Amino acid sequence: MGPSPTTPLANGCLRVAARVLIGMVPPMVRRGELQEVELLDEHDVPLSSPPPRRRIAPGAVVVGALVVAAGLAATQWVITARERAAVEALAQVPGVLAPVDETITVARTVAGEDAGTLFGHSEGVLDRATDGSQSYTWVDGTGGGSGWTAELMGPSAALAAVASGHVVSGSTCVTDSAPSIDPVPATRVVCLVTDGAFVVDPTSGTGLERLPATTREVVVLSVADGSVLARWPVDAGEYVAVLPDVVVLGSWSATDITLAGYDPLTGEQRWTRAEPLPRGFRLSDDDHLGISLFRVGDLLGYSGPERSLLLLSADGRPVRDLDGELGGMVDAGWLTDQDGRIILQSQSADAPRTTFLAPDGDPAGDVTVDGRLVHTVLDDDSVPGLLLTAHRALCAWDERTGDALWANDEVVSAGSALVMRGRVFVTTANGVVALDARTGALVWATETERRMAVSAIATDAHHLLVMLDPTTRDGEPVLVAYDPASGHEEFRAHYPDGISMVGPARRTLVGMDETTNEYVVLG
């Protein structure tokens, strides 16, 4: 018999049916009987019989779904818990604000003389009463102790005749704490107390008039309770600085500046050093205001007329004289930062340069980088040792070695920066950009705020808080809260009427009342 016609199948393959004569058949099959056999395409031949399908019970499907859901919930719980822990850790960093929302109100008013407590600084105020007597009041801004007042000198007829606001210089008090953004609590206050002073000339109202001193002494007070630890007289002194275990007094004449170191408790003089003024230069009463004596870490800094900066050790030895160094630089000068470090700024042929002087004054330990310093208002140390400068780009350096880390030329007008959770948030002329602190890659940027300028930046651990001030008279200041991760604007908060110059102070927002010219704490 011939083959049967072909039949197309649904899968497009062809299956051929044929009748063949089987020569050998099992005994139960009759010889000569024809059987129809189906021939399969080789691709359709099953290698083995498929296993029987198992029927899944509906309950098992529900259980599987619940397991998946439970796994997703557990993952989300872990993510949420980690985020909560990160926010809680960030909230403990000094300078991070308490939570801020879209409603800002005036919580309380703070007088100008108490403003230091807003910023967490323990400080003192030297008061001159109407009878010319003098006292020192200590205010503990950290909450770790109570305030006190110590009497320094009795009534003075000469000082009583001068309005307190017209006294330009005279008695002065300093603590033994080194300057730092997080200063070690002071243990002593050293006061140079005198009934002499320079006062505004009552006739001209501009020049200075000297009130000769009839008495001058050093009074050492305990920060704990204001008790007098020591009191000793001195023959001369206009300026005072306190280094570890030494009090340094500075005095001046028409031809030189004299510095002298004393034991703080006994008054024994340990050393003295005269700094001659340049030939032909004579110091006048007005010139003495240009003399500065201050602590730089464990060194003494002295700056005066015709003198850039001289660094001395606690025993009066010269450590470094910047006159020669700055003389060879273009547009060079020095400043101190919030940590009390000495920073040199200069201009090279290609770019401005910033040099951080070594704490011990040794030039070998200086760190010099390109660009001008970008002030970091807060750093949670998530990327340790990050130093930022700006010049045609935002540049990051290792502050310990000065090694370049990265640069981003999309940021050309950097103002100040905030570092948290591995990101750098930088203010620009009218907005904020967020960068990966490790690579400098742009993460997000705010859109340009027309007729607004960034005045301050902060965080409450939940949001990036940006204070915007208007650049026109009809504008209104506002606080904008962004999601630090995405840059999404969460809310805008307007200030109470009459409040301006809003910024962070410790864990609160502080503004200025334009009517009373007093600080206000915002809540």
Cβ pair 481, 474 in contact under 8 A: no
- Determine the Cα–Cα distance for residues 158 and 210; give it in Å rounded to an integer: 11
- Determine the Cα–Cα distance for residues 105 and 508; give it in Å rounded to an integer: 12
pLDDT computed for residue 40 by the predictor: 47
- 245-304, pLDDT tens digit by residue? 999 999 988 778 899 999 999 999 999 999 887 776 666 666 666 788 999 989 999 988
Instruction: Examine the pLDDT at 489 and tell me if it is beyond 60.
Output: yes
- 311-369, pLDDT tens digit by residue? 999 999 999 998 878 766 667 888 888 778 899 988 877 789 999 999 999 999 999 99
Length of the chain, in residues? 523
pLDDT computed for residue 336 by the predictor: 86
Domain membership flag for residue 342: no
Instruction: Point out the least confidently predicted range of 110-124, 164-178, 296-310, 346-360.
Output: 110-124
Domain membership flag for residue 18: yes
Instruction: Point out the least confidently predicted range of 29-33, 86-90, 154-158, 510-514.
Output: 29-33
Phi first, then psi: what are they for 351, rounded to 5°? -165, 160
Q: Give the single-character DSSP code of 201.
A: -
Q: Give strand pairing partners of 499.
A: 513
pTM for the model stands at: 0.75
H or E element: which one contains 418? strand 416-420
Instruction: Examine the pLDDT at 86 and tell me if it is beyond 70.
Output: yes
Average pLDDT over residues 128-140: 89
Confidence category of residue 21, pLDDT binned at 50, 70, 90: very low
Domain membership flag for residue 448: no
For 443, half-sphere exposure in the C-beta direction (CA atoms, 13 angstrom radius) is 20
- 47-72, pLDDT tens digit by residue? 445 555 555 555 555 566 666 666 66
* Total count of domains within the chain: 1
| Listed ranges 82-86, 145-149, 281-285, 291-295; the one with the highest mean pLDDT | 291-295
Domain membership flag for residue 321: no
pLDDT computed for residue 378 by the predictor: 93
Average pLDDT over residues 484-512: 92
Residues 6+ apart with CB under 8 A from 507: 96, 97, 98
Domain membership flag for residue 149: no
Which structural domain, as residue segments, surrounds residue 26?
A: 7-40
- Determine the Cα–Cα distance for residues 36 and 40; give it in Å rounded to an integer: 13
Average of per-residue pLDDT values in the chain: 82
- Determine the Cα–Cα distance for residues 93 and 128; give it in Å rounded to an integer: 38
Domain membership flag for residue 24: yes
Q: Exposure of 103 by Cβ count < 10 A (0-12 exposed, 13-18 middle, 19+ buried)?
A: exposed
pLDDT computed for residue 474 by the predictor: 85
Domain membership flag for residue 417: no
Q: Radius of gyration (Cα) for the chain, nearest Å?
A: 39
Instruction: Examine the pLDDT at 16 and tell me if it is beyond 60.
Output: no
pLDDT computed for residue 42 by the predictor: 45
- 427-485, pLDDT tens digit by residue? 998 799 999 999 999 999 998 888 999 999 999 999 999 999 999 988 899 999 999 99
For residue 353, count other CB atoms closer than 10 A to its CB: 20
The CA distances from residue 291 to 169, 209, 226, 370, 516, in Å, are 12, 17, 29, 31, 34
Q: What percent of the chain has pLDDT over 90?
A: 48
Domain membership flag for residue 264: no
